[in-house]
Amino acid sequence: MSFATNDYAVNMNGESRTEVSLSSRMIRIGILSAACLLGLSLGTAAQPRWVKDMVDLAQTVKVDKDATVVVLSSSKEVKIGSDGHSIAKIRRAVKVLSPAGSEKAILSELTSPTRKIKNIEGWLVRENGTVEDMKKDWIGEMDATYRAGYYDDNRSLVASFPGVESGDVVAFEYKVVETDALLGRNQRFVLQFVEPTIRSEFTVEIPGGWALFQTGRHSDETQRIRTKNGYTWLTDRLDYQPIEPFMPQASDILRWIEVSAYDPTSSREDQFADWGAVATWTHDLQQPSNAVDEQTVSAARQLCEGLTDPVEQMTAIAQYVRDKIRYVAVELGAGRFEPRQPHTTQQNGYGDCKDKTALMRAMLKAVDIPSEAVLANTRRPIDPDFPCPLQFNHVIIGIPISDYFECGEWPTACIDGWLYYDPTDDRFDLGHISSQLRGTFVLRTSEKDSSVLCLPELSPTDYERLNFANIELSPDGSILARVRTTYYGLLAAETAFGWKSRAISEWTKDQIKRFARAMQDPRITEIRREVADDSVWVSFVLEGRNMVSESGGRSLLKADIFHADQTNSLVGKRRVHPVSFGKPRLEQTIIAWQLPPDWRAGTPPSPITDSCEIASISSQIEVREGEISFLSRVEYLGGELEDSAYKTAKAFTGKVRAAESTRVFLTKGDH
Amino acid sequence: MKSSPRVAGLLALALVLTFQSVVAKTFKNPFKWEEVTSSDWAVGQDSAKRIFDAAMLFEKVSADDEEMVEDKCYRTVYRRIRILNERGRNRANVSVPFVHPEQRVIGLVARAIHPDGTVIDLQEEHIFEKEIVITREFKYKQTSFSIPGVTDDCIIEYMISIRIPYAHNRWPIQKDIPLLDFEYQWLVGQGVSRRDLDYYRSHPGRSLPGPNYLWFNSQSKQKVDKLPSNEDTREVRFSTSDVPPFEEEPYGLPSGHLRDKLICFYGATRKPALYWGSWASSNERRAAGFCEKSDVMKEVVAGFGELDSDSTKINTAYDWILDNITNTTHAGLYDEKDVKKEKRLTPKRHSSVDEMIERGYGSRDDIHLLFWAMLHEMNIEAKIAYAMERTHDLFVYKAKYWQFSHSAVMVLDSSGAQTFYTPGIGCTPASHVPWYLEGVQALTCAYSEYFVTIPFSSPEVHRSMRSGVFEFTEDYEVTGRIANRRWGQFAQATRADLFERPPEDHHETMVERIEIDYGTVELDSVAVDGLDRLDRPVTLTFSASFPSAAPVGDQWLLKPLEYFTTSKNPFVQPSREGDMMFQHAHQRTEAAEFAVPAGWVVDAVPSDTVFVNQVGLCAVQFSFSGDKLMVQRSFTLDRPYWPVVAYEAVRELYQARQDQADLMVILTKRSD
């Protein structure tokens, strides 16, 4: 499902349009080059007053040395009409500070059949004061992410000046006309990019009597001014936002505002005064036709033949829709929001999240199991105080199950008597929800029982790995290890899916790469992979060389073969962003070393233990006659540490690194 | 559509007929699906043949150039794919292959076949067209389709026919899944396309091109099933089978060279020696013609005075060109503005060296012609040479079409020794060529043997010497000041990165490069020196902070080589299939001095280690005195090209470097 929003995906910096790939850059450069090759003369042109002001401002700004551009001004003035259509006037000016910045001076705006970019004007003001106008030859449209299997009617309009250099100021002014009422009433604006921003301004004008909801990131730190028919949000002097290791995702850090306008007096279904209105609108849109067609009914009954337990019926249908309907998105016209008829999806054997959910619902209905469409977002958090369907980018299914079994049986996918399932995610069986969705808000669109709710949080034990190895060390430093890794919870399902979808030779190559960080010439044989009820495991024999190094005549054994300096450490004195170690997870490692006869281990290193609010580590070595045990446990709890706790986080990563590089002194028999 | 097998036949037939009326009728020739056989269904997962998700049972290509004189050529591809699992189903999402920007899809049919005989056909609603690039001058429309009814155990097949304005016959045979059978039918065009007609009218002596073909790197048994004969002069048929999927290996030869492909082209019918000989002669004539009007050039050369040796003369001419001729090879790409701003000109083609000198600019090839003419004027024997850069593809002698991307100037001394010069390629010092031209075959003009090999340079030419002084901070970081001197290609790469960039831009550009070398690091104040003199090394100086493991109890284990350039061995797999090609031979020397942190003493340092084999050398030395710990590493790669038989030796060298980076120095807490 693609609820394509406006400004978040489109900006002059391209920062938040993550799907802009190298190929898009190549095409942009191609357009730029083609324009240059035309050998067009660059005449001197007049610049409007606001651009002149920006050029003057550019003389005085001082910003972080790592910044590649400074956004001098970024403004969007949008007028929403009573028909929901909108016209936005956008102005942006940046000063390029370095070669990489020239790419950020390229204009990129989403276009679609309902979203048109008009009256584009642009000015390139050289450091020596020369001004060049934007030429039509320097403007093009493209779809850089096009691929078979994902069909939509969006493109990016790209406009760029050739030969932009450090010191130049690039400014654009244009209009965005949106004629889809749903998209027109919803407006989004990124006030701050990674790059420093001197001034950002977002003005929304709505028809008299209308109201609006507001959401955003750091919006409470943004000045809001009431205007005659709307609001203006203003920011001044926002600093450069460096890319740092272990930082939260960009949408959590940058500053943006999103508004959803509505007419409280309107009886139209797509006016969203509360979540109830959103649920009703979505419910009607996502509802497959009331009379489920004979073909779907027949297929469902055939699948459930002989199954009397509703849970078994649900499972059979879920597996069918997950496995037999491949993911192909046709997001054209109404297909952006509406699912296709279930029998069409079934005939095609493909569909997107909406189609798969609608088919699964129709099949459940055929065996008298009720269900509802549930809106979710796989990329960014939902604001439960902002009732707007455009917050979501995905559809899953909700099934009321209190008549059949207790929620406690499937605790990670059940809440308040409803079971949630994502038939688009190939990895999981009924009863599991992906880590991307766990802990996020979703909207259940039941006609009678709609609500915004939070799916069960992910806990470290839902994503657990246990490494075990029994290793015989030879006097020449080579090893023969019997290794077994067990995966639990979601990680088990993900791992099993990975095994199913990749050749074992590819898996072996990856393991060789992994162990090559810890030893010479790793060789893997006797691979066995098993899927159990709540876990999956793989065992194999691992051989390798050079596990013992020497320092000052003393032999050092590398104790942990699973982690050879894998953990990135935090470095540097400054920290701007909170620290995030990612989703909750748990990894335990147990290694039993058997030394060659007459070899002894020296005094073991001190145990390593450390913890902070979002993670903990404990690692220790035990030594007995001819044997060494290495035990470690690293647990990440999710969440963030504020930048003020940076020193704690940095010390923690240092401890993890120390644990990963633990060495044990060995004494050979003749010493 | 899915139906019972009994009615499937009728329904499928009806659908096929309906669909044919919509789409298939536009094929140039009537199409017919081939029968699906039991051997098609018998294909299953097979690790020996690398069949896992799917296998292409066959690909049949028809290249029809019969209407070439009308600027109409047709390419029809018919593929049948056995789907073996869920991942394989994605093969049913297909984009029409890109052959030519002006291509038009004229026929498209596709279907899925289930083991029970059910057939599900592609309908128009499953075909998607989108203009994915729109500029003022150009639009490109991509056609894609998603075949319906695909299961994880079925066969899909499709036939696509496109019309292109002129013959294009470079066909990649090797795919990313195994191809079991390949057939290619070439219906040879007679005559010349409208596009080429003018050329042949204006070159009456030039014989008309004839059909040629080449198989490249065929890993399987290839066959030419039919050649044109007196009875049938218009058809050629090729076939091959069991083509494995293409897999890229680290540091392999260019994939464009390695992939199996078939090239059918219209070119000379002469033997390659005659063909290349004629190019060599015509190039020489062209060069001589370009230098005919050369009074100004002669004046310039006369101004060099009485230089004492050939090498001085060569270097003087080289420097004169760099100082006086603006290189406009990439004008319009990124330096057009400078040319315009400074000289107010638009790059034009020159008719003579004098015109070029008067205008003050020239393309790479123009500059090489000028350099060659100046040497000629000074009675120094030199030849223009043409070569293909080895990043994309490698030269093939039998391929009788122009394959070269670059020119160079070959200078011969009295003993016949060859030295290559490329003043027209930015940032290249005299008597050097960029690494991507080293080791490749070059076509020379009127030389006794038309081809010479541009030699690889030795590791001593490409040196990097890095030295740093480091100390540990209280929160377990290592900070230091590092100086790095670079020679040869190392220096050239830095110059190319910073070409015409003002000093304020150097920091950002070099930070990216240094981070590639070092991994997790925080950098400050990168300075660059020595950019202006091509014959001198470039020096980078910068401050850096690295993470370090924390001490554990009374012990602190340090890996000093972690603070050198990254040492990960890229060759971890036990074997490989293809030869290895690095950019260039090189020598890296890195030295670091660490201040032992207060309260700690060096307890033990590893012994010095040296690894040397036919591929190169890697050596590490440790020493300490008082509160200073010193570490030095030398690494040499003797040659950039290694045949696959040397894999074990290459792997050992890089493994030794990785192992050395793991060596540990033991610090203990000072007892007092």
Q: pLDDT tens across A578-590, in order?
A: 999 999 999 999 9
A441-455, B66-80, B299-313, B515-529: segment of lowest average pLDDT: B515-529
Q: Which of B87, B92, B509 sits opposite A501 (nearest CB)?
A: B87
- Is the Cβ pair A569, B547 closer than 8 Å? yes
- What average pLDDT does range A260-283 have in this prediction? 89
Q: Which of B504, B521, B554 sits opposite A571 (nearest CB)?
A: B521
pLDDT at A41 over 60: no
- What average pLDDT does range B247-255 have in this prediction? 91
Residue of B nearest to A498 (CA): B87
Strand A197-205 to A69-80 pairing: parallel
Q: What pLDDT shows up at residue A289?
A: 60
Mutate to test the interface with B, among A25, A36, A608, A630 (most CBs of B within 10 A): A36
Which contiguous run of DSSP H or E holds residue B21?
helix B5-22
pLDDT at B611 over 50: yes
A482 Cβ under 8 Å from any chain B Cβ: no
What band does A32 get if pLDDT is binned at 50, 70 and 90? Answer: very low
A293 Cβ under 8 Å from any chain B Cβ: no
Q: Which of B134, B145, B569 sits opposite A140 (nearest CB)?
A: B134
CA distance B444 to chain A (A): 30
Q: What pLDDT shows up at residue B665?
A: 92
- A216 sits in the region (left: phi over 0; alpha: psi -120 to 50; else beta) called left
What does the mean pLDDT of chain A come to? 88
Q: Supply A24's token pair.
A: 């898009």
pLDDT at A145 over 60: yes
pLDDT at A224 over 80: yes
Spatial distance between the Cα atoms of A293 and A282, rounded to a whole number of angstroms: 21
Neighbour tally for B628: CB within 10 Å? 13
SS (H, E, C) A358-396: HHHHHHHHHCCCCCEEEEECCCCCCCCCCCCHHHCCEEE
Is residue A576 within 8 Å of residue A565, measured between CB atoms? Answer: no
Mutate to test the interface with B, among A520, A608, A632, A650 (most CBs of B within 10 A): A520
Q: Supply B618's token pair.
A: 């890697």
- What average pLDDT does range B392-405 have in this prediction? 87
Is residue A187 within 8 Å of residue A119, measured between CB atoms? Answer: no
Instruction: Report how far apart, in Å, the C-alpha atoms of B79 and of each of B93, B94, B260 are.
Output: 13, 11, 17
A23 Cβ under 8 Å from any chain B Cβ: no
Q: What pLDDT shows up at residue A230?
A: 94
Taking a contact as any Cβ pair under 8 Å apart, which residues of chain A between 363 and 392 contact chain B?
none
Q: What pLDDT shows up at residue A609?
A: 95
Residues on chain B touching A349 (C-beta within 8 angstroms): 112, 120, 148-151
Q: What pLDDT shows up at residue B214?
A: 86
pLDDT at A10 over 60: no
Q: What pLDDT shows up at residue A12?
A: 33
Is residue A105 within 8 Å of residue A17, measured between CB atoms? Answer: no
- What average pLDDT does range A645-653 have in this prediction? 90
Q: Which of A148, A650, A657 sits opposite B475 (nearest CB)?
A: A650
**Which 3 state secondary structure label does DSSP give A498?**
helix
CA distance A44 to chain B (A): 13
Spatial distance between the Cα atoms of A370 and A401, rounded to a whole number of angstroms: 9
- What average pLDDT does range A105-116 have in this prediction? 96
- Is the Cβ pair A162, B337 closer than 8 Å? yes
pLDDT at A467 over 80: yes
Q: Which residue has the higher pLDDT, A563 or A43?
A: A563
Residues on chain A touching B346 (C-beta within 8 angstroms): 39
Q: Which long-range contacts (CB under 8 A, 24 or more apart) does B370-373 make?
A: B370/B297, B370/B321, B370/B325, B371/B317, B371/B318, B371/B321, B371/B409, B371/B421, B371/B423, B371/B424, B372/B287, B372/B291, B372/B409, B373/B287, B373/B290, B373/B291, B373/B294, B373/B297
CA distance B477 to chain A (A): 7
What band does B21 get if pLDDT is binned at 50, 70 and 90? Answer: very low
- Is the Cβ pair B144, A148 closer than 8 Å? yes
A214 Cβ under 8 Å from any chain B Cβ: no
Q: Which of B146, B574, B663 sits opposite A350 (nearest CB)?
A: B146
Residue of A nearest to B92 (CA): A149
Q: What pLDDT shows up at residue A218?
A: 83
Q: What angle do CA B410, B413, B419 make, to 5 degrees?
A: 35
Taking a contact as any Cβ pair under 8 Å apart, which residues of chain A between 487 and 506 contact chain B?
500-505
pLDDT digits (tens, 9 = 90+) for A250-259: 777 889 999 9
Q: Which residues contact B610 (CB under 8 A, 6 or more apart)?
A: B617, B618, B619
Highest mean pLDDT among A157-166, A450-459, A476-485: A476-485
A187-191, A664-668, B58-62, B484-488: segment of lowest average pLDDT: A664-668
pLDDT digits (tens, 9 = 90+) for B464-512: 999 999 998 877 788 899 999 999 999 998 988 887 677 777 777 788 7
Q: What pLDDT shows up at residue A252?
A: 78
In which residue are the tokens 């994605």 written? B90
CA distance A313 to chain B (A): 21
A423-427, B69-73, B303-307, B376-380: segment of lowest average pLDDT: B303-307
Q: What pLDDT shows up at residue B347?
A: 63
Q: What pLDDT shows up at residue B205?
A: 61
What band does B386 get if pLDDT is binned at 50, 70 and 90? Answer: very high
Q: Supply B343's token pair.
A: 């000289």
pLDDT at B401 over 60: yes
Size of interface A-B (CB pairs under 8 A): 228
A16-30, A59-73, B325-339: segment of lowest average pLDDT: A16-30
- Is the Cβ pair B548, A501 closer than 8 Å? no
* Helix runs in A201-274, H state only: 250-253
Q: In terms of C-beta density within 10 A (0-12 exposed, 13-18 middle, 19 or more buried), how is residue A404 classed? A: middle
Q: What pLDDT shows up at residue A288?
A: 62
Interface confidence, given as ipTM, is 0.87
Residue of B nearest to A658 (CA): B549
Q: What pLDDT shows up at residue B490?
A: 92
pLDDT digits (tens, 9 = 90+) for B406-417: 999 999 988 888
Q: In terms of C-beta density within 10 A (0-12 exposed, 13-18 middle, 19 or more buried), how is residue B39 classed? A: exposed
In which residue are the tokens 């009456």 written? B204
A114-118, A316-320, B264-268, B370-374: segment of lowest average pLDDT: B264-268
Taking a contact as any Cβ pair under 8 Å apart, which residues of chain A between 602 and 661 contact chain B?
605-606, 608, 647, 650-651, 653-655, 657-658, 660-661
Spatial distance between the Cα atoms of B499 and B515, rounded to a whole number of angstroms: 20
What band does A61 get if pLDDT is binned at 50, 70 and 90? Answer: confident
- Is the Cβ pair B501, A99 closer than 8 Å? yes
What does the mean pLDDT of chain B come to? 86
CA dihedral B613, B617, B618, B619 (to 10 degrees): 100
Spatial distance between the Cα atoms of A524 and A529, rounded to a whole number of angstroms: 13
Is residue A376 within 8 Å of residue A392, measured between CB atoms? Answer: yes
pTM of the model: 0.86
- What average pLDDT does range A488-513 have in this prediction? 91
pLDDT at A570 over 70: yes
CA distance B229 to chain A (A): 42
A101-115, B21-35, B250-264: segment of lowest average pLDDT: B21-35
Neighbour tally for B661: CB within 10 Å? 21
pLDDT digits (tens, 9 = 90+) for A381-415: 899 999 999 999 999 999 998 877 777 778 889 99
Strands (E) across B244-290 are located at 261-267
Q: What pLDDT shows up at residue A290?
A: 60
Residue of B nearest to A140 (CA): B135
CA distance B170 to chain A (A): 23
A331 beta partners:
A152
The amino acid at residue A630 is F
- Is the Cβ pair A34, B137 closer than 8 Å? yes
- Is the Cβ pair A36, B130 closer than 8 Å? no
Spatial distance between the Cα atoms of B532 and B494, rounded to a whole number of angstroms: 12
- Is the Cβ pair B50, A571 closer than 8 Å? no
